[in-house]
Amino acid sequence: MMPLPRLSDAERDAALAELTGWTLREDGLAISRDFKFGTFSEAFAFMTRVAFIAEKMNHHPEWTNVWNKVEINLNTHDAGNVVTEKDRKLAAAIDKVYESYSK
């Protein structure tokens, strides 16, 4: 299977404009977003829900969790650790999960 192509700068910038709160990581090799919750349990439940989506997509985020905060970085390892369409799709799915906590 051919690796996914890296998004061009214009494609990546357009994807970031459509996504809520995602930014280009300082090194330019990933997109990232910080999420905040009311409790540790909410943060962990969010991560669990995202894990099921990521597993189904066979695309696993790099993330950290400290109490009520989750930081997620996305890039595509099979494509050489660059941002691809797969990252945009997972970021959009993550945003939908997070919206359910914001209501």
CA angle 102, 25, 28 (to 5 degrees): 145
H helical segments located in 1-84: 9-18, 40-57
pLDDT at 80: 83
| 78 backbone φψ class: left, alpha, beta (φ>0; ψ -120 to 50) | alpha
With pLDDT > 70 as the criterion, what percentage of the chain qualifies?
Answer: 96
User: What one-character DSSP code corresponds to residue 79?
Assistant: G
Strands (E), the chain: 23-24, 31-36, 62-66, 69-74
Query: What stretches in the chain show pLDDT beneath 70?
Result: 1-3, 103
